Amino acid sequence: MNWNPDEHYKSRAVAADYDASRFSSLSGRVFNRLEKRTVTKCFSRLPKGSTIADAPCGTGRLAGALLEAGYKVHGLDISEAMLDVARQRLGSYGKNFTCEVADLKKRPSSEPICNGALCARVLMHFSLDQQIELLTGVAQLSRSVVVINQSLDSGYQRFRRRLKRWLGNQPPARFPVSDKDIRILLEKSSLREVKRYRLLPLVSEAVYIVAEKI
Ligand SMILES: C[S@@+](CC[C@H](N)C(=O)[O-])C[C@H]1O[C@@H](n2cnc3c(N)ncnc32)[C@H](O)[C@@H]1O
């Protein structure tokens, strides 16, 4: 499969359809809500008013939850089309929401520009080496906490993935990771795990990990 996550979301049609195609079903709405609540909980150690880098920001779905919780957000994404949707959605937050086009694998900043950073729903699309490249770029944006989201690989989740394929559904993550991979990913990105949250572990592979810079 030559689906390329660096290119796919640059399409205006894909960007316009992103939220509706993933989060308008009943299960999508439940999961979206839970994810927003979890992300906010992950940053609870950061004082309100701090700036969080949402990298990648996409259409501003999770940035909206952080703004609502009282943080400022700076979004970064490789896709101008996705950021245009975010700008429209979050215009009412004025200067509390800013954004820029950036390739996170190319380390957009060598100096931290934010108090915290969020990296959601992107790592699982890349091989472990590319995940390390991308997360290193994200970690460099933050002075302290970095929150990542991944898809967990386990015997049970492999069984679910096989079942999904058999039923004709494509599993969402191309590169789910084991606990060992997570340790390698964090260590090579100069991060250390502090806490993790599983989201509906019986029906989802999703895990949110709160990490701090080493
Ligand atoms: C599935 S979306 C997730 C967006 C958002 N974090 C969310 O949870 O709704 C993946 C995003 O990653 C962005 N992306 C892919 N490769 C990237 C890269 N190398 N640098 C920055 N953004 C990238 C895409 O443009 C897309 O907006």
Set out the domains of the chain in order of their start, with CATH numbers: 5-213 (3.40.50.150)
The structure tokens listed for 162 are 């096989």
Is 80 touching ligand 1 by the criterion CB < 6 Å?
A: no
**Sheet containing 191-198: order of strands:** 97-101, 72-77, 51-54, 114-119, 142-151, 206-213, 191-198
Rounded to the nearest angstrom, the distance between the alpha carbon of 166 and the centre of ligand 1 is 28
The structure tokens listed for 143 are 């002075």
d(CA 60, CA 187): 28
54 φ/ψ angles, rounded to the nearest 5 degrees: -100, 105
Question: Hunting for tokens 């880098």 — which residue is that?
Answer: 53
Q: Calculate mean pLDDT across residues 133-162.
A: 90
Of 136, 107, 106, 123, which is closest to residue 181 (Cα–Cα)? Answer: 123
pLDDT per residue as tens digits for the range 3-54: 899 999 999 999 999 999 999 999 899 999 999 999 999 999 999 999 999 9
Rounded to the nearest angstrom, the distance between the alpha carbon of 58 and the centre of ligand 1 is 5
pLDDT per residue as tens digits for the range 57-87: 999 999 999 999 999 999 999 999 999 999 9
Q: Name the closest-CA residue to atom 3, ligand 1.
A: 121
Residue 171 — very low, low, confident or very high, per pLDDT cuts 50/70/90?
A: low
Q: Write out the H or E segment, with its range, that includes residue 137.
A: helix 128-139
Q: Calculate mean pLDDT across residues 114-121.
A: 98
Residue pair 37/15 in contact by the 8 Å Cβ criterion: no
Among the atoms of ligand 1, which is closest to the Cα of residue 35?
A: 8
Q: Where are the beta strands (DSSP E) in 86-190?
A: 97-101, 114-119, 142-151
Q: Calculate mean pLDDT across residues 168-185.
A: 84
Q: Write out the H or E segment, with its range, that includes residue 183.
A: helix 179-188
d(CA 214, CA 78): 27
